[in-house]
Chain A
Amino acid sequence: MGFPHRSHPRETPLLSKHFGDVDARTLTGWRQRGGYRALEQALAMEPVAITNIVKESGLRGRGGAGFPTGLKWSFMKPGDGKPHYLACNADESEPGTFKDREIMRWTPHALVEGCAIGAHAIGAETAYIYIRGEFTEPLLRMNEAVREAYADGILGKNAMGTGKRIDVHVHKGAGAYICGEETAMMNSLEGRRGNPRIKPPFPAVAGLFGQPTTINNVETLAAVPHILTNGPEWYKGMSLASPKSSGTKLFSVCGNIQRPGNYEVVMGFPFGEFLRDLCGGPLPGRRFKAIIPGGASVPIQTPEEADGTMMDYEGFIAGGSMLGSGGVIVIDDAQCMVKQIARLARFFAHESCAQCTQCREGTAWTTKILERIEAGQGTMEDLDTLLEIADNMTGKTICVLSDSCATPVVSGIKKFREEFEAHITGKRCPMRAVAA
């Protein structure tokens, strides 16, 4: 539903059905809403059978990369004699994204259940939920849900009376965007600085504590109980455009738009109608200038590009961007694009873990140049320099934070070049000139 707004008739609330319903937070309330039946079903199944169902459903990772979840789970080999781990990525820090926060605030048991099912499917006895430190309320809700689940015997050494051991622990982060990168998250969980690791080895081979590990996003795991309950065909059938994208997706919408909030729609929903009908369109007297559809790391779309886009993994690529985390940032014609892109670059410069030179130097240098242009002190050569730095920052580092910083710069200069040039030739921000 369009939390904090009322649900729109064109939404398909699955994960968000109980957002805003305080009774759904408790174990009793969650059971009354059908909770933990899927886990009971799962614990009676062979792990490989669960993985196959998830594979057939077409569920793909909701954290940003869109990797097929069942396939990821199939890399784990239950019974290989090694301890396995499930790590749930709840470090939601991608600017524009605030969906996992609402899942954890309103339906914490949905995530506990998803984690327990996932752990069983990959042969893990322990699951960690890594929640960013700033999420004080989600931390409170998740800790309470885990406590209730242990007290009720859902978790522990005899999970739901099946004799299987499933532990779920909440782990609090301490302020670092980079810990949303899965290998950085594992380092952080181990008590290290959150520096990403070189791959290979991949987590399924040597992950957390050097053991086979699967990392899944909150929204991904929260979808799993619904797939087990309703069947893979039902989930796969929820697809309006590309058959490679199935199910529902939570989109967080923010910025200069009438009704910001979370919206849950079936994959392939038309983006133009979404922004206009569900989210209410631009603020009075304004026009959309730019849309960043999948969190700060994806290419910027023009409103025209957004209008023709279908909201799924393939659709956003066809529309010149990416689905990413589903965090839609809307920027209107009252905003200066140079200023906004400079601010995004500043974010990445602040959050760089600084272990790769291209990223450490590139994000800082990019920010410096962009802020110089915004202040009216840039040159035309600066634009070439920015693109050259961006080229050196793309595909050359351990993780993709560097690429993520380059992305809005490249797409921004390509699509809004006249704004950059106006700052350079006019030696001031033209938007500021209007305001003055």
Chain B
Amino acid sequence: MSASGTSGTHMSSPASHAGGHGQGANEAPVFEGARRQELDTLLTRYPTKMAALLPALWIVQAERGWVSERSMTEVAALLGLTPAYVKGVVTFYTMYHQHPVGKYFVQVCTTSPCGVCGAEDVVKAFLRHTGTGDLGTTSADGRFTVIEVECLGACGFATPIMINDEFIESVSAETVPEIIARLP
């Protein structure tokens, strides 16, 4: 989230930039039908429209896999904000993808408590077995993006990882191949 951004959360491969400049420009709106109703329900929970911003961005990401500039503009219009304001919020948080990521987005916790329990080896094993090579890049087949993440809050179950929304505890370098093999 900071300028120093050491875990490379938002880096992605040239392959994932395939859309090039203006990516997402031709997308259909997200907030139609059920998604629009979901947003309307959310708006009843807060005294301001702006407070629904994080939840609205989550809806976008659940629907599209990432948050494009086009979607930011759509959310801004719905909540009475400027696109620049929305982008400012999106870029503050590490979990919103500003570019498409692999089908499986793998986050490995490497903060100290996991670090002393072998998390670095888990990262290396994921990079090797997924063929992504580098942190933050997407594998050539588009299946995997692997990043290091700061403390996932499951330190007693070192090393915790996330694959998309699935939280997996007690991963070691040895169990990485079978975790990958289980993925459809």
Contact = CB atoms under 8 A, between A and B. Distances in A.
Are A and B subunits of one complex?
yes
B54 A173 contact: yes
Contacts of A255: 112-113, 116-117, 155, 158
11 contacts: A4-B156, A93-B153, A133-B58, A176-B94, A191-B79, A209-B46, A252-B156, A256-B117, A329-B155, A347-B151, A360-B2
B48 interface: yes
Contacts, number: 172
Contact of B111 (A173, A347, A349, A352): A347
B54 A349 contact: no
A144 B117 CA distance: 33
A347 B150 contact: yes
A268 interface: no
Given A96-B113, A98-B153, A209-B48, A136 B2 contact: no
Most interface-central of B1, B57, B79 (chain A CB within 10 A): B1
B20 interface: no
A177 interface: yes
Contacts of B58: 133, 172, 174
Interface stretch (B3-11, B121-129, B137-145, B175-183): B3-11
Nearest to A254: B155
Interface stretch (A303-311, A338-346, A386-394): A338-346
B112 A296 contact: yes
A256 B155 CA distance: 11
Interface in B55-107: 55, 57-58, 79, 81, 88-89, 92-96, 107
B153 to A, nearest CB: 5
B48 A191 contact: yes
B50 A353 contact: no
Given A95-B113, A175-B94, A360-B2, A262 B50 contact: no
B52 A191 contact: yes
Most interface-central of B54, B55, B88 (chain A CB within 10 A): B54
Interface of A: 4, 83, 92-98, 101, 132-137, 167, 169, 171-178, 188-194, 209, 252-256, 260-262, 296, 327, 329, 331-332, 335, 340, 343-344, 346-347, 349-354, 360, 363-364, 367
A213 to B, nearest CB: 12
B93 A194 contact: yes
Contact of A351 (B1, B81, B88, B154): B1
Given A95-B111, A190-B50, A175 B4 contact: no
Contact of A191 (B51, B107, B150): B51
B162 A340 contact: no
B152 interface: yes
B6 A175 contact: no
Contacts of B55: 171-172
Contacts of B117: 254-256
B162 A176 contact: no
Contacts of B154: 98, 101
B45 interface: yes
Contact of B6 (A177, A188, A193, A350): A350
Contacts of B151: 93-95, 177, 296, 347
Given A340-B115, A349-B2, A133 B156 contact: no
A254 B95 contact: no
Nearest to B119: A343
A332 B131 CA distance: 33
A351 B150 contact: yes
B45 to A, nearest CB: 5
B22 interface: no
Contacts of B155: 95-98, 252, 254-255, 260, 327, 329
Contacts of B5: 350
Contacts of A360: 2-3
> A-B pairs with the 5 shortest C-beta distances?
A191-B53, A175-B94, A175-B95, A174-B93, A254-B155
Contact of B2 (A93, A335, A350): A350
Contact of A344 (B48, B57, B112, B166): B112
Given A101-B154, A190-B48, A349 B6 contact: yes
A193 B93 CA distance: 8
Interface in B12-68: 45-48, 50-55, 57-58
Nearest to B47: A209
Contacts of A96: 112-113, 155
B112 A95 contact: yes
Contacts of B107: 134
A351 B115 contact: no
Contacts of A354: 2-3
B174 interface: no
B153 A97 contact: yes
Nearest to A132: B153
A374 to B, nearest CB: 12
